[in-house]
Chains A and B, each alone.
Chain A
Amino acid sequence: MSESPEALAARFAPGARVTVRRAAPPGHLRTPWYIRGQVGEVERLCGAFANPEELAYNRPGLPRQPLYRVRFRQREIWPDYRGPAQDTIEIEIYQHWLEPAP
């Protein structure tokens, strides 16, 4: 996806390992608390969308943020997870919440 005044370029490709940033700004956020700081793998790019954090204040939320479906292993997220190692969770996360995993 190329950059335009209306949409940011995608930084991550499917398969990329990413870390969800730890941050806690006030206002409306769509990155759940439980996934912040966790490492997952980009399953796909879903497209680019206006930023809901800004839409929540009736602002346009531009430029559009690439949105990724990111897959995480449950055993890596929950210290007490009792299910098998292959259980996963997928969450859609906006690009500005993601950094490359170390």
Chain B
Amino acid sequence: MRSHHDMGGLPAGPVERREHDYALWEKRVDALMVLLSAPQRRLLRVDELRRNIEALPPDAYDRMSYYERWISAIANTLLQRGVVTADELGRKLAEIEARQAAP
């Protein structure tokens, strides 16, 4: 069966000539990808990131923006590799949430 991301040749509408200036958080996602895949670290490969993106459910793939898919894949790859644990990631996310709530 054709995978959802493998879209060459499928029907689609007109190409919308959209461009957007990248937000800082998006550029940082890109930076993380570059830094973590660099030869001196090799903590993830672009191929692992692609596999994780391709494994997103079709509706998530379509709904998420390009860099949302990438940061999701970076998180999954680092978890798979054991560079971060689920527990420490969960705690850090909660801490960030709490920072937002604090006056």
Residues of A within 8 A of B (CB): 24, 27-29, 32-35, 52, 55-58, 78
Contact = CB atoms under 8 A, between A and B. Distances in A.
Contacts of B81: 58
B46 to A, nearest CB: 8
Nearest to B53: A28
A90 B80 CA distance: 35
A78 to B, nearest CB: 7
B8 A34 contact: yes
Interface in B17-61: 45, 47-48, 50-51, 54
Contact of B1 (A24, A29, A52, A56): A24
B9 A56 contact: no
Chain B contact-residue range equals 10 to 19
A27 B81 CA distance: 17
Given A56-B51, A58-B81, A33 B3 contact: yes
B91 interface: no
Interface of B: 1-3, 6, 8-9, 45, 47-48, 50-51, 54, 80-81
A56 B50 CA distance: 8
A90 B69 CA distance: 28
Nearest to A50: B47
A32 to B, nearest CB: 5
Contacts of B6: 29, 32-33
Nearest to A27: B51
